[in-house]
Amino acid sequence: MSNIDYKNPNLILETSDLEPGEITWRSPSNLAIVKYWGKYGQQLPKNPSLSLTLSSSFTEMLLEYRPRETSESGISLEFFFHQEANEPFKEKLVKYLESVTDIFPFLRQLDLTIYTGNSFPHSAGIASSASSMSALALCLTSLEHELFETLDDDAEFDRKASYVARLGSGSACRSIFSKAALWGETGEVTGSSNLFAVPMGEGLHSVFSDMHDDILIASTATKSVSSRAGHSLMENHPFAEVRYADAKRNLSRLIPALRTGDLEEFGRIAESEALTLHGLMMSSNPSYILLKPNTLEMIERLRQYRADTKHPVYFSLDAGPNLHVLYPEGIIHEVRGFIEEELKPLCEDEKYLEDWVGNGPEQV
Ligand code: PMV
């Protein structure tokens, strides 16, 4: 593994002549097809993961900065989520910003204000850490470039943003890239690393590059066990080593399937990874279950629909009960008809979100 760490004590400002400014990024969520579940060290993955970058589920974040008015050395942050102050989120972000001051030492010299919000309803039961932490990492990386002109090279900019996003939430490091991204060192992809994700959009078969991912909301209740706790339960998990080997094998099959447009292989891997993730939760000590009865009912109906119609419709799951329904653009009318008729009535408040593979973050 390369040992870049991006610590840079030279990024210190001459604040006397700094003009206040602002930066806005919109950054999407992503859906892992091969999952990251289990970590070590400073947010490093036990196995490589590969995700599709989403589109309509995103965080928009505005970062305002101005020279610090007081001489205190901690992070100075005001924070608004959907126009309202939010103490718990703010505390999390202050802690994170403190943790990256060796990468961005100038943060201590600024008064910062963050205004942020998600495109998806707060109570949709959709994890927002990938979109929000990638949006913040992009704002910070842009801020460095604006203040020091250090990151002219786009690939270097993305790599640093991905590295910084990883420190906030592992899966966030994959949201930086258009279409698809791989995070974790593997012999399958040159330049891959545990420290940052790499783009996988190039060479992606067209059947995947605008693939749909409709998110069926089985429940919006807060998860009983956080992802953080779930990762740490992998440490003494009886199936841990088998799982990491299985993920690597799935990855080595997924990569060629993504290039050749092999939907069947893609679907087999997506579903196996999703059920394995939840199987690992059910076999943790203590064990827990995040799936709801309606999640299972939706899976059964989807598999029946696939068997009856031979349409390439597959599912995935995040660390929660909501079902991601994956299918190519060419069969949208048929699949939406099926979703409306058979799956929507099983959703909480009949709610589902339409999403699809997208082009990655955008500076606004
Ligand atoms: O990024 P974290 O620490 O919230 O972990 C997310 C893990 C999964 O979403 C379940 C899988 C993944 O690879 O995104």
pLDDT of residue 123: 67
Mean pLDDT of the chain: 95
Integer Cα distance of 27 and 118 in angstroms: 10
Q: What is the C-alpha separation between 69 and 76, in angstroms, rounded?
A: 10
Ligand 1 atom closest to the Cα of residue 169 is 1
Question: Tens digit of pLDDT for each residue in 225-254?
Answer: 889 999 999 999 999 999 999 999 999 999
Distance 170 CA to ligand 1 centre (A): 7
CA of 228 relative to ligand 1 center, distance in Å:
9
Over residues 15-24, the pLDDT tens digits come to 778 999 999 9
Query: Distance between CA 292 and CA 299 in Å, rounded?
Result: 11
CA distance 190 to 201: 14
HEC-encoded secondary structure of the chain:
CCCCCCCCCCCCCCHHHCCCEEEEEEEEEEEEEECCCCEECCCEECCCEEEEEEEEEEEEEEEEEEECCCCCCCCEEEEEECCEECHHHHHHHHHHHHHCCCCCHHHHHEEEEEEEEECCCCCCCCCCHHHHHHHHHHHHHHHHHHHHCCCCCHHHHHHHHHHHHHHHCHHHHHCCCCCEEEECCCCCCCCCCCCCEEECCCCCCHHHHCCEEEEECCCCCCCCCCHHHHHHHCCCCCCHHHHHHHHHHHHHHHHHHHHHCCHHHHHHHHHHHHHHHHHHHHCCCCCCCCCCHHHHHHHHHHHHHHHHHCCCCEEEECCCCCEEEEECHHHHHHHHHHHHHHHHHHCHHHCEECCECCCCCEEC
The finding on whether 32 has its CB within 6 A of some atom of ligand 1 is yes
Contact 62, 24 (CB under 8 A): yes
Cβ contact 213:31 at 8 Å: yes
Do 251 and 34 form a contact (C-beta atoms < 8 A)? yes
Burial 78-94 (b: 16+ CB within 10 A, else e): ebbbeeeeeeeebebbb
* pTM for the whole structure: 0.96
Q: What is the pLDDT of residue 183?
A: 98
Tell me which of 39, 232, 318 to substitute to probe ligand 1's pocket, judged by most ligand atoms within 8 Å of the beta carbon: 318
* Any ligand 1 atom below 6 A from CB of 269: no
Q: Is the shortest distance between the CB of 316 and ligand 1 below 6 Å?
A: no
Output the pLDDT for position 2.
61
Contacts of 3 (CB under 8 A, 6+ apart): none
Ligand 1 pocket member 254 (CB < 6 A): no
- pLDDT at residue 127 in the model: 73
User: What's the CA-to-centroid distance between 37 and ligand 1, angstroms?
Assistant: 7
With a 6 Å cutoff on the Cβ, whether 324 touches ligand 1 is: no
Report the Cα 177 to chain-centroid distance in Å: 11
Q: What is the distance in A from the centroid of ligand 1 to the CA of 127?
A: 9
Q: Which residues of the chain have pLDDT under 50?
A: 1
> Domains plus CATH for the chain?
15-203 (3.30.230.10), 206-362 (3.30.70.890)
